[in-house]
């Protein structure tokens, strides 16, 4: 391992030694999964896309709305079922072609298509229409008071470029498809793609003619992005000056980095929860030792598993204090979160054993846990700790940890029965959680719900959230849905993640709760 680390560091140093003062050398544990902006709804994938492509609206470093490709948006006067977006004048794509409403209509239709990972955000939209070159109307199935919240990671592609390169259809990433849009990119954003070697290095260059040249610092002229999965190697690269900025300082190295001359660590709560999912829908699990039954189908077993997890121990030992134990799969940023629900997960090993016995599993069972090892902070370490905790109630867990590029398709394709997942909520509203994680898996909702949970009444309540304008009534519906999710123990919440960005003193930025640095905001001292 030491030899591999040394070789990697030498290679990285050679590749970055010629970087100019305006270059920003950026590293994190995992790479973007694709350059197709509608193929994967995943944080690192969106973060890279934000440098090249743009949505109609973005969130700034404080999480507030900021105009991007749209300058104004509001419900249409006299018709609450229509939102009107005024587009920014004078914007061009990086090849010089003009940005118009035609590109917006095309991009949203593409994002609504079957293979898109973004379609759950757009389920209330029945039509997207261009009124003129700079005006787009979104027609919804009933008034949708929070429609703009869904647009902050919905990127606009050039219709002509997409058609010319045969990528009108979204990449089917879950089934291993590779397309031109997965390896190439052309947007309206501040940077253009210079080169890309997936999982090795991606280079972006500041583009001439960007509409925001006078509105943002834009002091970073080149971005050299190097995924470094190994935590020790990642920190060594920052300490030695081979990289300037890492998004995920390992918790065991926070003090070391922050006390080093010329470096600092900036910390903030993240809008993300880490949890385990369990397949309660199958009649018989494939990766357990129980014949003819599914132990996860019994809510008593699911509750026992949650009660066996010592979240405080994970916080102190695995996360070195850098997490907040969770009792629900929504972070405090989100409308619908309550302190009461979030404090509901208590460790009770003896109570868990009693529930296991009551369910007929006093002797326990064995099961496989699928876990990523390059996506969340100490993801594999959390899974390893949980294996020992579940063993206390007789559940033998076989841990299978792998890179996120192999892990996520297991969930999307329904090929895992017990798995780790993390979920951020860019809309800051519970509807986003429910659409992806609680609604029955169907054509346009529930794409990440691999639990087998399906309830027609709950589905109807979730759908109603997109058109309910009485906010008190809407919030009550959200509370009612959460009550069912909690009672059913659909998931096992672990903790709310904490962000630790490490950077050279030459880099100026604040931590975004979305963990999505937008380098046009950065300064270089």
Residue 460 lies in a domain: yes
Region 113-141: mean pLDDT is 97
- Element of type H or E holding 26: strand 23-28
Q: Cα–Cα–Cα angle for 346, 350, 353, nearest 5°? A: 105
Q: Please indicate, yes or no, if residue 305 is contained in any of the structural domains.
A: yes
Residue whose token pair is 């709310």: 496
The CATH number of the domain holding residue 319 is: 3.10.105.10
Q: Are residues 411 and 357 in the same domain?
A: yes
- Percent of residues, the chain, with pLDDT higher than 70: 96
261 part of a folded domain: no
Statement to judge: residues 346 and 463 lie in one domain: yes
Task: Inform me whether the pLDDT recorded for 21 exceeds 60.
Answer: no
pLDDT digits (tens, 9 = 90+) for 340-385: 999 999 999 999 999 999 999 999 999 999 999 999 999 999 999 9
Q: Mean pLDDT, to the nearest integer, of 166-174?
A: 96
Q: State the pairing for strand pair 245-246/222-227.
A: unpaired
Helix (H, G, I), strand (E, B) or coil at 227: strand
Determine phi and psi for 87, rounding to 5 degrees. -90, 155
Residues 476 and 510 in one domain: no
Closest by Cα among 24, 523, 521, 503 to 266: 503
Confidence at 290, pLDDT banded by 50, 70, 90: very high
Domain identity same for 224 and 287: no
Structure tokens at 489: 């123990």
Same domain for 181 and 286, yes or no, is no
From CA 299, how far away is CA 470, in angstroms rounded? 34
| Domain count of the fold of the chain | 2
Question: Which regions of 183-281 does DSSP assign to beta strands (E)?
Answer: 191-197, 201-206, 222-227, 245-246, 263-278
Distance separating alpha carbons of residues 465 and 483, to the nearest angstrom: 16
pLDDT tens, residue by residue, 463-482: 999 999 999 999 999 999 99
**Local structure of residue 175 (DSSP, 8 states):** G
Do residues 37 and 139 share a domain? yes
Same domain, 159 and 304: no
User: What pLDDT sits at residue 7?
Assistant: 38
**Shared-domain flag, residues 114 and 234:** yes
Contact 53, 37 (CB under 8 A): yes
Taking residues 326-342, report their average pLDDT. Answer: 97
Whether residue 429 is predicted with pLDDT greater than 90 in this model: the reply is: yes
The pTM of the full predicted model, rounded to 2 decimals, is: 0.91
Residues belonging to the chain: 525
How far apart CA 293 and CA 272 sit, in angstroms, is 33
In sequence order, which residues have a C-beta less than 8 Å from that of residue 443 and are 6 or more positions away?
114
Q: Is 319 helix (H, G, I), strand (E, B) or coil?
A: coil
E runs forming strands in 403-508: 418-424, 491-504, 507-508
Q: What are phi and psi of 481, to 5 degrees?
A: -65, -45
- On whether both 120 and 155 belong to a single domain, the answer is yes
pLDDT tens-place string over residues 225-271? 999 999 999 999 999 999 999 999 999 999 999 999 999 999 999 99
Asked whether residue 299 falls in the same domain as residue 160, the answer is no
What pLDDT score does 10 carry?
A: 40
Local confidence band at 6 (pLDDT 50, 70, 90 cut-offs): very low
**264 located within any domain:** no
Percent of the chain with pLDDT over 90: 93
* C-alpha dihedral, 237 to 9 to 49 to 518, nearest 10°: 20
> What pLDDT score was predicted for residue 16?
40
Q: Which domain holds residue 194?
A: 2-244+506-524
* Burial zone of 457 (CB within 10 Å; 0-12 exposed, 13-18 middle, 19+ buried): exposed
156/97 Cα distance (integer angstroms) = 13
- pLDDT for residue 126: 97
Q: Domain for residue 81, yes or no? A: yes
- Of residues 45, 46, 26, 87, the one with CA closest to residue 211: 87
pLDDT confidence tier of residue 174, bands split at 50, 70 and 90: confident
pLDDT of residue 281: 96
Domain-located, residue 146 = yes
Would the pLDDT of 334 be above 90? yes
Comparing CA positions, the residue from 322, 300, 304 lying closest to residue 249 is: 322
pLDDT at 107 over 70: yes
Q: Which element (helix H / strand E) includes 524?
A: strand 523-524
Same structural domain for residues 211 and 341? Answer: no
Considering just the CA atoms, what is the radius of gyration of the chain in Å?
A: 23
Q: Are residues 165 and 312 in the same domain?
A: no
Is 408 part of a structural domain of the chain? yes
SS3 43: helix
Mean pLDDT (the chain, rounded): 94
Mean pLDDT of 13-29: 67
pLDDT in tens, 49-100: 999 999 999 998 888 899 999 999 999 999 999 999 999 999 999 999 999 9
Q: So what's the pLDDT on residue 353?
A: 98
Residue 263 within any structural domain of the chain: no
Question: Residue 5 pLDDT > 60, yes or no?
Answer: no
Q: How far apart are CA 300 and CA 307, in angstroms?
A: 10
Average pLDDT value for residue range 34-63: 95
């Amino acid at each position: 391992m030491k030899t591999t680390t040394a070789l990697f560091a030498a290679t990285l140093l050679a590749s970055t030694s010629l970087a100019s003062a305006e270059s920003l050398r950026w590293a994190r544990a995992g790479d973007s999964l694709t350059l197709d902006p509608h193929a994967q709804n995943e944080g690192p994938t969106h973060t890279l896309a934000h440098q090249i492509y743009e949505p109609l609206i973005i969130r700034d470093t404080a999480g507030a709305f900021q105009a991007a490709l749209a300058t104004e948006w509001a419900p249409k006067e006299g018709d609450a079922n229509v939102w009107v977006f005024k587009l920014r004048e004078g914007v061009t794509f990086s090849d010089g072609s003009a940005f118009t409403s035609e590109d917006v209509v095309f991009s949203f239709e593409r994002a609504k298509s079957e293979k898109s990972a973004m379609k759950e955000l757009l389920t209330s939209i029945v039509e997207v229409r261009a009124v003129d070159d700079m005006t787009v109307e979104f027609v919804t199935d009933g008034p949708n008071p929070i429609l703009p919240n869904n647009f902050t990671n919905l990127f606009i592609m050039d219709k002509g470029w997409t058609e010319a390169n045969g990528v009108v259809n979204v990449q089917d990433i879950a089934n291993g498809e590779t397309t031109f849009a997965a390896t190439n990119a052309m947007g309206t954003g501040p940077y253009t793609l210079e080169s890309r070697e997936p999982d090795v290095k991606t280079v972006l260059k500041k583009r001439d003619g960007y509409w925001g040249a006078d509105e943002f610092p834009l002091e970073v002229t080149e971005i050299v992005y190097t995924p470094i999965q190994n935590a020790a190697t990642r920190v060594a690269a920052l300490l030695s000056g081979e990289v300037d900025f890492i998004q995920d300082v390992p918790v065991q190295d926070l003090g070391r980095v922050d006390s080093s001359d010329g470096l600092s660590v900036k910390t903030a709560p993240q809008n993300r929860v880490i949890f385990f999912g369990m397949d309660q829908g199958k009649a018989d699990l494939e990766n357990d030792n129980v014949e003819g039954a599914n132990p996860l189908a019994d809510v008593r077993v699911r509750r026992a598993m949650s009660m066996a997890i010592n979240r405080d121990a994970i916080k102190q030992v695995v996360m070195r204090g850098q997490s907040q134990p969770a009792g629900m799969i929504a972070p405090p940023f989100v409308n619908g979160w309550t302190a009461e629900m979030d404090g509901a997960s208590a460790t009770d090993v003896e109570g868990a054993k009693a529930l296991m016995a009551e369910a007929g599993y006093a002797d326990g069972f064995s099961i496989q846990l699928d876990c990523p090892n390059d996506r969340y902070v100490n993801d594999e370490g959390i899974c390893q700790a949980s294996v020992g905790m579940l063993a206390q109630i007789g559940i033998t867990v076989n841990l299978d940890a792998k890179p996120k590029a192999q892990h996520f398709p297991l969930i999307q394709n329904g090929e895992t029965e017990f798995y780790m997942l993390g979920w951020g909520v860019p809309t800051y509203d519970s509807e986003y959680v429910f659409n992806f994680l609680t609604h029955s898996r169907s054509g346009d909702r529930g794409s990440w719900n691999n639990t087998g949970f399906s309830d027609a009444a709950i589905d109807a309540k979730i759908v109603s959230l997109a058109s309910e304008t009485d906010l008190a009534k809407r919030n009550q519906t959200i509370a009612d849905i959460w009550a069912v999710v909690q009672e059913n123990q659909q998931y096992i919440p672990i903790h709310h993640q904490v962000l630790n960005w490490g950077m050279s003193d030459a880099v100026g930025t604040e931590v975004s709760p979305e963990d999505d640095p937008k380098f046009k905001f950065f300064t270089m001292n």
